[in-house]
Every structure is written in structure tokens, then in C-alpha cells.
Amino acid sequence: MPASVESSAHVAFILKGYPRLSETFISQEIYALEERGIKLSIWSLRHPTDKTRHELHDRIAAPVHYLPEYLYQEPWRFIKALAWSFAQIRFWLLLSVWLKDLFRDLTPNRGRRFGQALVMAAELPANARHLHAHFLHTPCSVTRYAAILLRKPWSFSAHAKDIWTSPAWEKKEKVAEAEWGVTCTQLGAEHLQSLCPADQSGKMKLVYHGLDLDRFPEAPAKKETRDGSDEQAPVQLLSVGRAVEKKGYPDLLIALARLPKELHWNLTHIGGGNDLDKLKSQAVELELGDRVQWLGAQPHSQVLECLRTSDIFVLPSRKGADGDMDGLPNVLMEAASQKLASVSTDFSSIPEFLEDGVSGLLVPPQAPEALFSALEKMITNPKIRTAFSEAAHRRLKDSFQMHQSIEDLVNRFQPYFR
């Protein structure tokens, strides 16, 4: 098997895809761990698809290894790993675990996870002391299988979709077998804690991602004067998020269409996603075409510039038909870092950061009428925007700075280097 390029003990991070603009919270964590002396390697199940990179990706020193995205694309790599795996004493244990999973999830994806795990186990250097998966679904399956074969300790960070769309049997078994797990919302932590065996009650812990405020400039000094009454100075609305069902953008467009015609505003959307064309068509049908700007995926510098020059941030999160939903979107904290007032939904873990009527306005999910009322109130009242943005900024600085969470992770990883 290939020799390691690492010369000392490290932790292997297993990710679904790297790098990804929509997962800068993971890159932020990796970079912060490296700054604190935790050596890492990155093992990605997929190659990048974004056309641009976040500046953080260029600062990360960890070597990146790409597993075969589909086994047929690199057959000899898989065959060599399979031959190596046959000679390992724990191969038959792994095979029995995987077959049990396969009978409950008879899909090609289950076979791909097994193959990727064999390749990773065969190629992982011996000085990788610990395996850590980001996301409880596919990356965690690959990590679990590789750890069984190698008899190495492993852990995971759970987030949102991976928690709410994974079957209960799989979550229970992963929680039971992992050494420990963290998740980024109180709602998620309580759910996963309920799945822990009785003798492992302290295994799951809440660790907010938080925000590294050192990477963000001081919030601009805004003169809140725009109130929608001046056609030459429309109120600037901003939303950043993928065009997928759980973000609730159809509800936002319906709410915007109900605003009085004499109210002047513009909306800028940043993000890619499969539903982008549908949303553009919906905006045209609702006669919003000239008021909505679709920028697609953008580098962080462009996102930051829009956060600094907008008046209101809006994210109408909801639950998708497949059970997928946001946890606590980092972009709400990024908006607060630039003292941008937010309108969002009283849903999932968003209220863990924003308090309705104190640090923002929260409405029920999938309620365009309530969203319309909140937007109208925020657009026409600059003083309320100022009060909410100041409160959210204080909340961010007091309780959601990344340094607090990173120290917890450093303390968890350090024992593997002794």
C-alpha cells in the first residue's frame, strides 16, 4: 500500500466532499484545530464541484486524499484494497457487520460505502491514531467500517440532514459504537442522547460551531435610514443559502409578492442548488423579476460584502418532504457579525440563537402570510432593525464564538497523541 506522506501522529477527518463552499464551518474547524497543534489528514468521499474556493481552504495544511467516488472508476485501487483486506484478521467481522446493514438498506450506496472503507483502511497510514467523521450518514458509515477493520477508535460530528434523515437503527448502532460524538444544536444533542445506551449517557455533547470573529471585519457603522418609501433608496434584502426545499424560498417569494407595491425593496440571493431555475421562474410569475437578483454561488468575500451593505437578512427555513431540515445555519451568525438584522423561522434550532422580538423576527415555517408581515415590519422600521442587529451581535459575541467550541474539540483529540 502507498507509504504515508505524514511523519507523525494525526487524526483522519472523513468528509463527504472537500472543499465545499456550503461547509465552511468544517473548514473553519479544521484550520482552528491545526492552529492549536492538532495534526490532521482529510479523506474525502467526493471530489469538489464548486467553481470557487473559500480563502480558508488555502490556509489548511492537512493533506487531502480522495477515495474512489464510484468503485468502477478506479477498479484496480479497489481490487488491491480488497486483496489487502482479505488478509486482515478483522475482515470477517467487518463483513458480518456490513451484510447486516446491507439487508436493512439494500442499495448500491451501501456497497460503495463498504468499498470506500476498504480503500481507506488499506491506504490509511499507521500513524493515524483516530478517525473522525463529519456527518452521521455516509461519511460515518465509511469511518465505522474502516475503524472496525483497523481496530481504531473513531468519533463523529453530527449536523442536521444526517440526523433527521438517517434511519433510527443506524443512528443507534453508530452512537453505541463510536467513542464519542458531538453535534451543533441542542435539539440534535437531545435526540442523539436519547439513542445512547443507558451506560453511555455522557457520550453525546452539544458543541456549537460558533463563528471565528477574527476572520470577520468589525461591523460597519450603518445609518439606518432606508424604510422603503424612497424609490431611489430601496431597502436591501439578502438571503444566502442553497436553492433546496428546506430553505423555504418559495414561501419567501410568495411573501414578497404580497408586499405593497409602493414599498421599495430589492432581494439578492446567493447560492446554487437544484431548485434555482424553478425559483427564478416563480419570481417571474409573481412579477418580482426586476426586484430579485440571483447571484449563484459566490466566494466568501462577495458574501461578506453583501452582508455589510444590506439592510435585512432573511432565511425562511422549513422541513423538507424527506425530513431534511436546517440545524442552526451559520449564515445567521455571519449576518449578526455584520450587525445585519434577520427574519427567519421559529423552527429547528434557529431559536437557540435568535430570540423573536429581541434579536430578530421569527415566524412559523411555511407561513408566507406571517413572513410577509414580518418583512413589512422590518422594511418600514429602521429603528427596529438597529435594535435587533445590536442584540444579535451581543448574543454572538457572548455565546457563539468559535474559540469556545474549538477548545472542547482540542481536549477530545489530544489524548490520541500521547
Q: Which amino acid makes up residue 165? A: T
Omega before 368 cis (within 30°)?
no
Q: What pLDDT score does 52 carry?
A: 78
Residue 3 lies in a domain: no
Report, as ranges of residue numbers, the positions in the chain whose pLDDT lies below 50: 1-6
Q: Which amino acid makes up residue 171? A: K
Same domain, 54 and 100: yes
- CA distances to 135, 158, 186, 321, 409 from 165, rounded to whole Å, are 11, 12, 17, 10, 25
Q: What pLDDT score does 2 carry?
A: 38
Q: What pLDDT score does 4 carry?
A: 37
Q: Which three cell numbers stand for residue 98?
A: 456490513
Please, how many CA atoms are within 13 Å of residue 264, restricted to the half-sphere of its CB? 9
Q: What pLDDT score does 130 carry?
A: 97
Q: Which domain holds residue 67?
A: 10-210+401-417
Same domain, 331 and 411: no
Residue 358 lies in a domain: yes
Instruction: Give the pLDDT confidence of 62-73 residue by residue, as tens digits.
Output: 999 999 999 999
Decide: helix, strand or coil at residue 218: coil
DSSP string, 241-301: S-SSGGG-HHHHHHHHHTS-TT--EEEEEE---TTHHHHHHHHHHTT-TTTEEEEES--HH
Tell me which H or E stretch contains 358.
Answer: none
Residue 49: count other Cβ atoms within 10 Å of its Cβ: 10
Number of domains in the chain: 2
Q: What pLDDT score does 53 carry?
A: 82
Same domain, 40 and 107: yes
Residue 5 lies in a domain: no
CATH number of 314's domain: 3.40.50.2000
Q: What pLDDT score does 1 carry?
A: 40
